[in-house]
């Protein structure tokens, strides 16, 4: 019998819920985030923007949201990492987490340098901070599985494009392409014209489970993906809008090919 497992991909926007009126000032409700995550009963949970960046780029040694998630998601092993600490950090979401019902080993982090693209932030000229990818290995039904999670720079928000600055995309692809066995990568890839991203990953043997349904509330973009190599076969997927974030949840079921 084939072994199946379910993967949840979710940019949780540090627990800030969605409000159609003034979404930037919507309240925080981590309880709603946790309920949304639990409702899918996933074996693998891949999360971005777990924490909210603090003034001056400081990072609490005990990340509060991740600590609560770890407590609430009883029975899961987990791995969390911040990006490099940087005083330029703006008050948005940072931090990546992977949760797994099976033990996680070989946990690693990979810094993804951002290009020095200048942008205006409330009248001040800024440059973006670096981004991050994390990885781990688990074993499901006797089969090893490589897991990756990333959150790339939203260059379209800076009046630029990852097609003009493809370095982060390529660094991610270089790393995941080194894996020989079953491998998947979830994340908020922040590519507004996602066709070029999908094509780039397909050329290296990775397919996304879906590229037609919008995954972001603020603009009609497909930002969130679960990519997999040919050692995995997707058997079902769905995109679920949720009021628990400005991103939708992407869920996919896989079996080993």
Task: Report the C-alpha gap between 13 and 10 in whole angstroms.
Answer: 9
Total of domains in the chain:
1
Could you read off the pLDDT of 15-67 as tens digits, one per residue? 999 999 999 999 999 999 999 999 999 999 999 999 999 999 999 999 999 99
Nearest to 223 by CA among 49, 56, 85: 49
Q: At 2, is the pLDDT very low, low, confident or very high (cuts 50, 70, 90)?
A: confident
Task: Report the C-alpha gap between 14 and 17 in whole angstroms.
Answer: 9
User: What pTM was computed for the model?
Assistant: 0.97
Could you read off the pLDDT of 87-119 as tens digits, one per residue? 999 999 999 999 999 999 999 999 999 999 999
Task: Report the C-alpha gap between 1 and 141 in whole angstroms.
Answer: 11
For 136, residues 6+ apart whose C-beta sits below 8 A from its C-beta are 79, 98, 100, 104, 105, 106, 107, 108, 146, 147
Domain membership of residue 93 as a residue range: 4-256
Share the mean pLDDT of the chain.
Answer: 96
Could you read off the pLDDT of 38-51 as tens digits, one per residue? 999 999 999 999 99
Which CATH number fits the domain that encloses residue 199? 3.60.10.10
Report pLDDT for 1: 66
Task: Report the C-alpha gap between 188 and 199 in whole angstroms.
Answer: 17
Report pLDDT for 254: 98
Q: At 70, is the pLDDT very low, low, confident or very high (cuts 50, 70, 90)?
A: very high
């Amino acid at each position: 019998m084939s072994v199946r497992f379910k993967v949840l991909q979710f940019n949780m926007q540090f627990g800030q819920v969605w409000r159609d009126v003034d979404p930037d000032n919507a309240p925080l409700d981590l309880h709603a985030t946790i309920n949304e995550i639990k409702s899918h009963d996933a074996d693998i949970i891949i999360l971005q923007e777990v924490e909210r960046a603090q003034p001056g780029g400081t990072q609490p040694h005990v990340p509060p949201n991740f600590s609560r998630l770890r407590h609430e998601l009883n029975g899961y092993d987990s791995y969390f990492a911040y990006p490099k600490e940087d005083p330029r950090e703006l008050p948005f979401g940072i931090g990546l987490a992977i949760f797994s019902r099976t033990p996680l080993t070989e946990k690693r982090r990979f810094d993804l340098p951002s290009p020095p693209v200048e942008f205006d932030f409330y009248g001040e000229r800024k440059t973006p901070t670096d981004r991050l990818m994390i990885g781990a290995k688990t074993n499901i039904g006797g089969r090893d599985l490589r897991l990756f999670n990333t959150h790339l720079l939203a260059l379209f928000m800076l009046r630029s494009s990852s097609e003009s600055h493809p370095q982060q995309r390529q660094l991610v692809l270089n790393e995941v392409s080194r894996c020989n066995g079953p491998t998947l990568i979830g994340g908020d890839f922040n590519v507004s014209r996602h066709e070029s991203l999908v094509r780039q990953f397909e050329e290296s043997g990775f397919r996304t489970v879906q590229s037609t349904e919008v995954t972001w509330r603020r603009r009609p973009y497909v930002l969130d993906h679960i990519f997999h190599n040919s050692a995995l076969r997707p058997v079902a997927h769905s995109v679920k809008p949720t009021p628990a974030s400005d991103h939708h949840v992407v869920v996919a079921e896989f079996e080993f090919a």
